[in-house]
């Protein structure tokens, strides 16, 4: 497992179609040249003979976690078998088929993965293949087997195991993993350790759900991922002036008290988070020259405020300037 944080991106979009197959075959070699010593590159990719290959991925490695997110098409993705995997020999592999169709194969076992389905496995002498003839978006995780075993108990060699899309812990895992891959900067060692711990917890909780047992993980990673899902829900509905904790809780299938507790654990409140999101959205709109013809009251109501004087008061308290001053600055800059 890595002892530092790195990011690697690759896309075939800028490569001519005749040259894509060779570029895809050389991808793991290209990444190896860019990685610091001791970090494992992507698993080998092989273009399918009857399909044009396409790759668009981002890989983030943290201390204890390697996470790949993106889209593959026209490819066979081969996980190296036990005995040839280098530093990833004792890792647990977890792959989510976010969108599209993929076929996972190990010996005589095949798993058809559709939207949201996943599987996990440890390396075996056989390894395994994932075929993606048509565009499939995925998230792949690699964690130390021992870290997950510490939460679940004994975790011996595990054959490829299917996880259905409606598994609650899996959906939380996807939300959290997507944030790590796409948005979270994770600039400090403390944040990196916290993110890795949460991912280990969520993987353990997902496997536990398949085993019918409870993991120690329930306390930490699941709560963190659920809070992020709740925050995402709020951001999607923040313009609704009637947005309430009861409404969000109902959509997330939890109690209002649990929502409040999740925010309290982070030193926040539901109402302060909603207010902050509305103010931030209003500031972006006031600064957008494309919305110069919209007056302040229209913007305030558009982001969920029902009282213009309350909006002006809280906006000035938050940013130290009035909405009118922000709008004037935007107009003069334009």
Residues 279-310 have pLDDT tens digits of 989 998 998 888 888 999 999 999 999 999 99
Assess contact for 119 and 111: CB atoms under 8 A. yes
Assess contact for 97 and 73: CB atoms under 8 A. no
Q: Three-state SS for 228?
A: helix
- C-alpha angle with apex 131: 128 to 133, nearest 5 degrees? 175
Residue matched to tokens 């977890």? 94
| pLDDT range class, residue 1, cuts 50, 70, 90 | very low
**Does residue 330 have a pLDDT over 80?**
no
| pLDDT range class, residue 17, cuts 50, 70, 90 | confident
Among the ranges given (89-98, 109-118, 145-154, 219-228), the one the predictor scored with the smallest mean pLDDT = 219-228
Average pLDDT of every residue of the chain: 85
| pLDDT range class, residue 44, cuts 50, 70, 90 | confident
What pLDDT digit, counting tens, does each position of 122-140 carry?
A: 876 667 889 999 999 999 9
Full set of structural domains in the chain with CATH? 6-226 (2.60.120.280), 281-333 (1.10.10.60)
Tell me what pLDDT residue 106 has: 84
Q: Whole-model pTM?
A: 0.66
Assess contact for 63 and 1: CB atoms under 8 A. yes
Q: Give percent of the chain above pLDDT 90.
A: 40
| Most confident by average pLDDT, 33-42, 80-89, 126-135, 322-331 | 126-135
Report the phi/psi class of residue 86: left, alpha or beta, with left for phi > 0 and alpha for psi in -120 to 50. left
Burial class (CB in 10 A: 0-12, 13-18, 19+), 61: buried
What pLDDT digit, counting tens, does each position of 145-173 carry?
A: 888 887 776 676 677 889 999 998 899 99
Which helix (H) or strand (E) segment is 258 a member of? helix 256-265
| pLDDT range class, residue 39, cuts 50, 70, 90 | low
- C-alpha angle with apex 208: 206 to 214, nearest 5 degrees? 120
């Amino acid at each position: 497992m890595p002892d530092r944080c790195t990011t690697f991106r690759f896309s075939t979009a800028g490569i001519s179609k005749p040259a894509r197959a060779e570029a895809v075959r050389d991808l793991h070699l290209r990444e190896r040249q860019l990685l610091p010593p001791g970090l494992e590159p992507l698993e080998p990719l092989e273009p399918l003979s009857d399909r044009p290959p396409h790759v668009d991925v981002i890989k983030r490695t943290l201390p204890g976690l390697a996470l790949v997110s993106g889209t593959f098409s026209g490819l066979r993705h081969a996980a190296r078998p036990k005995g040839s995997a280098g530093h990833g020999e004792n890792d647990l592999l977890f792959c989510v088929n976010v969108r599209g169709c993929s076929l996972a194969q190990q010996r005589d076992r095949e798993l058809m993965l559709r939207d949201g389905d996943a599987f996990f496995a440890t390396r075996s002498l056989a390894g395994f293949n994932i075929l993606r003839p048509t565009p499939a978006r995925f998230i792949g995780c690699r964690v130390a087997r021992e870290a997950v075993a510490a939460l679940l108990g004994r975790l011996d060699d595990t054959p490829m195991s299917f996880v259905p899309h409606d598994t609650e812990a899996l959906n939380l895992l996807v939300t959290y993993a997507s944030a790590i891959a796409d948005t979270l900067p994770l600039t400090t060692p403390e944040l990196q350790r916290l993110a890795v711990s949460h991912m280990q917890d969520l993987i353990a909780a997902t496997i536990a759900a398949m085993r019918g047992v409870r993991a120690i993980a329930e306390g930490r990673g699941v709560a963190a991922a659920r809070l992020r899902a709740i925050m995402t829900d709020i951001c999607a509905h923040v313009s609704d002036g009637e947005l309430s904790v009861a409404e969000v809780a109902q959509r997330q299938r939890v109690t209002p008290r649990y929502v409040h507790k999740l925010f309290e654990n982070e030193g926040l409140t539901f109402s302060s988070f909603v207010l902050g999101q509305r103010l931030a959205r209003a500031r972006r709109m006031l600064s957008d020259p494309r919305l110069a013809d919209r007056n302040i009251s229209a913007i305030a109501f558009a982001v969920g405020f029902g009282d213009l004087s309350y909006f002006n008061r809280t906006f000035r308290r938050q940013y130290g300037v009035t909405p009118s001053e922000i709008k004037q600055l935007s107009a003069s800059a334009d």
